[in-house]
Amino acid sequence: MDGWLEQYRGYILIVLLCLILIGGAFILVQRPTPEPIAIATVVASTPTPLPTATFTATPASLRIYVSGAVHVPDVYILPPGSIVKDAIKAAGGSSDDADLVRINLALALYDQQQIYVPRLGEATPAAPLPDGAPPPTLTASSETGDSGGKIDLNTATLEQLDTLPGIGPAIAQRIIDYRQANGTFASLEEIMEVKGIGQATFEKLQEFVVVR
């Protein structure tokens, strides 16, 4: 018996080893497979840009005083880009005695401008006024005597003052109010004490006025 074991011991060991391997493999196959773990990937969302508010400047309207040979002299509010022709149209159009040849109907307007439409037969100023302002000597020539056609600041009416370059009806009224409150003007320069009349306006009108 011992001789037999010695003779076949190697084969027996091989068979036992095979049985062990087969058993181990069987145990591994029978083990439950673990569930896979899902890893969620978080993607950062891109923030939606907020709309940027834009502000568009609206051009201001033009305040234009139209006087002279028009049907309805007054102050009119006109849109930006308007021309002299638009201002005359807003004032009801020119009257039959208007001398439109002497003004530039295509001239662009600016805020607080005065447009004076001359009448046929009115005196022509020494130099043309590009902005359509009235010739300062038109209403004063028959009333100023030896003043060379200049307007006397101490006696001028609102209508006469209104014809001066750079002086509209509002400033003309301030001149009269100042005169009533402070007495007659002692010098031409004193008119700059009136609100709305600065050095630039004074230089425009000083050659057309006088203080007596």
**pLDDT tens track for 20-68:** 878 777 776 666 666 666 665 656 667 677 777 665 667 788 999 999 8
Domain boundary among 134, 157, 176: 134
Domain of residue 185, residue span: 136-212
Q: 133, 104 in Cβ contact below 8 A?
A: no
What are 113-159's pLDDT values in tens digits?
888 898 887 765 433 444 444 444 333 333 333 445 688 898 888 88
What are 74-115's pLDDT values in tens digits?
999 999 999 999 999 999 999 998 988 888 888 888 888 888
What per-residue confidence (pLDDT) applies to 43? 60
What per-residue confidence (pLDDT) applies to 108? 87
SS3 91: coil
How far, in Å, are 78, 157, 199, 212 from residue 98 at the CA level?
22, 23, 33, 33
* Domain membership flag for residue 169: yes
Residues 127 and 174 in one domain: no
How high is the mean pLDDT of the chain? 78
Residues 158 and 102 in one domain: no
Q: Does the pLDDT of residue 6 top 80, yes or no?
A: no
* Domain membership flag for residue 151: yes
Residues 125 and 182 in one domain: no
Domain boundary among 91, 116, 134: 134
What per-residue confidence (pLDDT) applies to 103? 84
Residues 125 and 140 in one domain: no
CATH of the domain at 115: 3.10.20
Q: Which one-letter amino acid corresponds to residue 159? A: E
**pLDDT (average), residues 189-195:** 93
What per-residue confidence (pLDDT) applies to 195? 92
What per-residue confidence (pLDDT) applies to 29? 67
Q: 88, 117 in Cβ contact below 8 A?
A: yes
Domain boundary among 79, 103, 134: 134
Q: What is the dihedral of CA 29, 30, 32, 33, to 10 degrees?
A: 10
Residues 125 and 148 in one domain: no
CATH of the domain at 162: 1.10.150.320
Q: Which two tokens stand for residue 146?
A: 């030896």
What per-residue confidence (pLDDT) applies to 35? 65
Place of tokens 């060379």: 148
